[in-house]
Amino acid sequence: MDQALFQYLLRMGDSTLILSHRLAEWTGRGPAIEEELAVANVALDLLGQARMWLTLAGQVEGESRDEDQLAYLRDAHDYRNYLIVERPNGHYGDTMARQLLFDVWHFFVLRALTESADSRVADVAAKSLKEVAYHARRSADVVVRLGDGTQESHQRMQQAMDDIWPYAGELFVDDAVTLRLAEAGIVPEMAGLLPDWRAHVRDVLNEATLTMPDMDLANRPAHRGGIEGRHTEALGYILAEMQFLQRAYPGAQW
């Protein structure tokens, strides 16, 4: 059970860590100061959540690795983040389409995890839920403004949603890890989150005058493998930048 929980904690910690880094790439490059600050705050929230998940992962693993060692001293094939979070930022509409799909899923996952049979998991989820509820509201608001804006913003937002949609399916994949933990009441079955997620996303897209992509996410996802350590080349570039200091100066401390 500890090994399954360790793997699941890595999924949560790695996904929030990598998405935090992706969002931080907008610093100094945002479309407006207000948006740049908002994205930076979301990135910081996710980084704080990543620290909590990875700290707990290290405790469950029992090999004396802390959150910094897990973040900076693993190679790409040891990461367990969902593929959607390592996707390049693209233009701002691409970033917000990715953010909406992840934020809504993240909210429903955390809400379920607050009732986890493992009090440690429930505590981290409870501390993160309020932040993620805000993230989901904010990304929905931006998607609505871009989708229901000018003709060009509408077209680009629709294309962004069509492009990222195939990566959302992995969020609802159940494997031996989630099924074992779900049986013990520690995590929800991921597939069980899909109906609420789909309904929420559909409402946002309707308000944004966007069309929900015609792809059945309940069947085998078009893109998957991140939670098993199979990643796109994008993750390698992220880690090369993110881990440079620790790799160049092992054990360095401020």
Written as six digits, the tokens of 33 are: 């100061």
Tell me the pLDDT of the chain averaged across its residues.
94
- Under DSSP, the state recorded for 28 is T
Whether residue 53 is contained in a domain is answered as yes
**For a pLDDT cut of 70, what percent of the chain falls above it?**
97
User: Number of folded domains in the chain?
Assistant: 1
Confidence at residue 136, expressed as pLDDT on a 0 to 100 scale: 98
- Under DSSP, the state recorded for 235 is H
Confidence at residue 218, expressed as pLDDT on a 0 to 100 scale: 67
Whether residue 126 is contained in a domain is answered as yes
Secondary structure string (H, E, C) spanning 176-226? HHHHHHHHCCCCCCHHHHHHHHHHHHHHHHHHCCCCCCCCCCCCCCCCCCH
For residue range 15-32, what is the model confidence (pLDDT) as tens digits? 999 999 999 999 988 888
Domain containing residue 186: 2-211+223-248
| Number of residues in the chain | 254
Whether residue 103 is contained in a domain is answered as yes
Task: Show Cβ contacts of residue 84 under 8 Å, excluding neighbours closer than 6 positions.
Answer: 98, 101, 102, 164, 167, 168, 170, 171
Predicted confidence band of residue 72 (pLDDT cuts 50, 70, 90): very high
Whether residue 253 is contained in a domain is answered as no
Confidence at residue 220, expressed as pLDDT on a 0 to 100 scale: 64
CA nearest neighbour of 138 among 223, 40, 56:
40
Outline where the chain has alpha helix (H): 2-24, 33-61, 67-72, 92-113, 119-147, 151-164, 176-183, 194-207, 233-242, 244-248
Whether residue 254 is contained in a domain is answered as no
**The whole model's pTM is what?**
0.95
Read off the CATH number of the domain in which 119 is found: 1.20.1260.10
Whether residue 216 is contained in a domain is answered as no
Give the span between the Cα atoms of 124 and 139, in whole angstroms: 22
Whether residue 16 is contained in a domain is answered as yes
Give the span between the Cα atoms of 46 and 237, in whole angstroms: 20
Whether residue 133 is contained in a domain is answered as yes
Reply yes or no on whether the pLDDT at 104 is more than 70.
yes
